[in-house]
Amino acid sequence: MSFPIAIPDLGTITKDSGFIPMEKCSDGKFQVGRDGVKTITATGDKKVEFIAWDYHTVAYVKSSMGYPAYYPVHPVKMKKPVKAVLMDLDGTTVRSEEFWIWIIEMTTASLLDNPKFKLEQSDLPFVSGHSVSEHLKYCTKKYCPDKTVEEARHFYFHHTHHEMDEIMKGRGRKGAFKPSPGIKEFLYELKAMKVKLGLVTSGLYEKAYPEILSAFDTLGMGDPKEFYDAIITAGFPLRKGEVGTLGELSPKPHPWLYAETCRVGLGIEFSDRNSVVGIEDSGAGVCSIRLAGYPTIGIADGNIIQSGTRELCCHYCENFEEILKALKD
For the chain, list the strands marked E by DSSP. 5-7, 11-13, 20-22, 39-42, 48-52, 57-61, 69-72, 84-88, 94-95, 178-179, 196-200, 230-232, 276-280, 296-299, 315-317
pTM of the model: 0.85
Each residue's pLDDT tens digit, 191-201: 999 999 999 99
Closest CA to 323 of 199, 213, 185: 185
- Give the pLDDT band of residue 128 (cuts 50, 70, 90): confident
Q: What is the dihedral angle through the alpha carbons of 155, 160, 162, 167, rounded to the nearest 10 degrees?
A: 160
- Name the DSSP letter for residue 311: G
What value does the mean pLDDT take over residues 42-64? 96
Q: Which pairs from 6-9 meet CB under 8 Å and 24+ separation?
A: 7/39, 7/41, 7/50, 7/52, 7/57, 7/73, 8/52, 8/53, 8/54, 8/55, 8/56, 8/57, 8/73, 9/56, 9/57, 9/73, 9/74, 9/75
- Give whole-number Cα distances, 147 to 17, 64, 65, 88, in Å: 37, 15, 15, 31
Phi, psi for 277 (deg, rounded to 5) = -120, 135
Could you tell me if 102 and 160 are in contact, meaning their C-beta atoms sit under 8 angstroms apart?
no
Percent of the chain with pLDDT over 90: 74
Each residue's pLDDT tens digit, 79-120: 999 999 999 999 999 988 888 899 999 999 999 999 999 999
- Res. 129: pLDDT tops 70: no
